[in-house]
Each structure stands twice: as structure tokens, then as C-alpha cells.
Structure 1
Amino acid sequence: MTKDRTHARCSGDAGFTLLEIIVVTLVFALLSTALWQGSAVGVRGWALEQKTFEHMSDLQGMDDTLRRIVTRSELSDPGLPPAFTGANDRLSLISWLPQQEGYAHEIEAGIGVDAKHRLVLRWRPYRRARCAGAEQAFHEEVLARDIQAISFSYYGRKESYHGWQSNWSRQELPLLVRIHIVTMTPGVQWPDMLIHPSLSGAESS
């Protein structure tokens, strides 16, 4: 009988001890936990990257729209208040709404950030003084979300000199409009927009 027990130990048929099984189980559990945490971090990182990409796409669309609208700024009819009026945090103007076929509709529009941190464009078809008919209601379009603040500044003549101003309310257009955007997304900064209204050069000469 002693010979049989010795043969079993030498041949490896005795199996694992309870301690060995516990150690293997513990190691497996630790590896599984580490792998799960790594996967969770990877998923969160991917989701954050996707959100950042979508936000940057929204900002690019916002940039394109603002540049087109401000570039196509128009003057008001003679005898009417200035068509282009701006404060530090909002802008009102007459412009053209871009469409696939070109600038098809003349509009009066307002741009600003609302209480939900959305950059909003409010517009309606512009009715010239010589055109009869009832004024239409404003449409509202969201250009970008998660916007903390927007600031406008205007470069043009003020009395006897030219300089940057935080407000604009003149019959002529500013030579340049600078738009600064502050986003709420960490690590996302959008470069300032410097826009030249196309009619301003002719007026200043």
C-alpha cells in the first residue's frame, strides 16, 4: 500500500490542493477585475472622444453659418433705423440666408446665446419698407450647443479715428466683426472669427 501512494504522488494523479485552487481563483478574479476596469475606461474614453468630435462638427457648421451671414450684411432702407446693430453679447442685422442654390432669401436676424447655453439664430424674411404685407414670425435655429458665452466686437470709424468697439449702431457697416466663442466642453477652444462685411469697404472709401 505504501508503494501505491508513492506511485500516485510521483505520477501526478494526486490533483490540486485546496490552497492551490484558492490561489488560482483569486488570481483569475483579479485579472477579470482589471480587464473589466480597463474596458470601462476604454468605453468612457471612446464616448468622450465621440462627443468631442460631434461638438467640433457643430462648431464648424456654426463658424460657416456666421461667416456667411455677417459677410452678406445689408443696409437698411433710407430713413429707417440702422440695419446692423450689435452689443457685446448679441448681434442684429439684415443679411441673406444661405441655401443650396445660393443666397435666396433676404432676412432680418438676431444672434445670441440663450439660457440653455445654445447659440441661436432667430430670423424671418425681411420686408422692405416699400413692400406691403404682414410681418412673419421669427424662426429659431440652434447653431451650436454647450456654449458658455459669445462676444462680438466691431472695428470701424468712431468720430475721428478707427478702432475696436464693443457696441455698434450706425448706418454704415463696421469694417470688421470679431466673434469670440467660449465653449463648455473641457479642452475645446474655437479660434476667434474675423469677418469682413462685403459692403463695408465701399462705404468707408
Structure 2
Amino acid sequence: MGDKSARDRIQRRRENDVDPETFLETVGAIQAADGTEQLGFTPAFESLVRDRLETIRETGVDAADVARLFGVERAAVDVPSRPYTAYEIHDTVRNWPSDAALKFDVAVDTALRETTDRWSEVTPRQRYRIAQSVRSFQGACFFCGGQLDVSDTSVESCCGSRGVLTIRCDDCARRFLEFTADRTDDVEATAGGN
């Protein structure tokens, strides 16, 4: 891609990036829970996400769903041979901590598209990040109803070990978020109902 293309992408981001919290509140997806500052889904949006998730659990996620989330043509999406849930979009591999996290993201993406036309105007990169962060707004696991927990684990790689915090369901062990330990304050400030 040439300089003009990069310049155009940066300009588009500047014009279409949104404040995630304000955007989600404005479209009726989230609200402060029970008079606190802690955010959670509105009852109507939670119901819509649960309905979309039920359909996705029956039909599965395919490359077309991922292409729509990232705002690319279906031909730009491949399923790489990886031992974890991942899709390759152009030359970038995007991964999820579990198949459940991917299904949840697609359900949120679908629900937001049905809720507002403005969702498709948000840059694909930011849509992905918003969908990712919204996973922490589950008051209980959308798959089994179990309690979500933030836990600290150590992950080994070729270069050493590092602390990783995980939001996962205590009952079904599905993982929804994984992030480095230095981001703890961000998650505790945004996680809903935990």
C-alpha cells in the first residue's frame, strides 16, 4: 500500500473513531449498573446478544462473519492452521482466547449492526476492540450462566514467562479475555456485574 493509502486510512480513523463508552451508551447497549459507575449491558441489548449468540451456537462462525467484523471482503479471510481459535485477515493473524470469545464477538457485532447503522461507520479495528472489551460486561457466563472470575496465571513462551490475567467462567472454564497483568486496573474499571 502506498503513502496515500496509509494517509487515507489514518484520516478515516480520525473521522470515524468513537469514544467506546459514549457510543455504547448512546445506542442503548450499556448502562451503569444499579446506580453505580460499573457498566453492564442494558436488558434489551443483553437479550438481543443472547438471541444472536444462540443462533451462532447452532450455526457456528465462518469466515464471512469474521470478514464482516473486520470490514473486509470474504476473500481476505483465511483460517490458519493453529492450535487455537484464529483467523488471518490479509496478512495479520487475529486470535481469540477461546471459540466462545469469537462467538461472543460475532454475536455482539451482529446485535450492534441491528441496533444502529452507526456501527458500520466505526473503523473495523475499533469495532474489533470494542467487541473484545464488551466481553467483560457479562454479569454471568452467556454460555452456561456460571460466575465469571478474573484470575492471574503465568504463561510460558520461547522468551520466558509473563503474568496474564484471564476472565473465564468458573463453571464451564470458557475463557473470554486474556491480557497482561499491567492492564488489571482497566478491566476492573470496566467489567460489569462481577
Query: What TM-score do you get using the length of structure 1 for normalisation?
Result: 0.28
Rg comparison, structure with higher value: 1
> Which protein is richer in helix relative to its size?
2
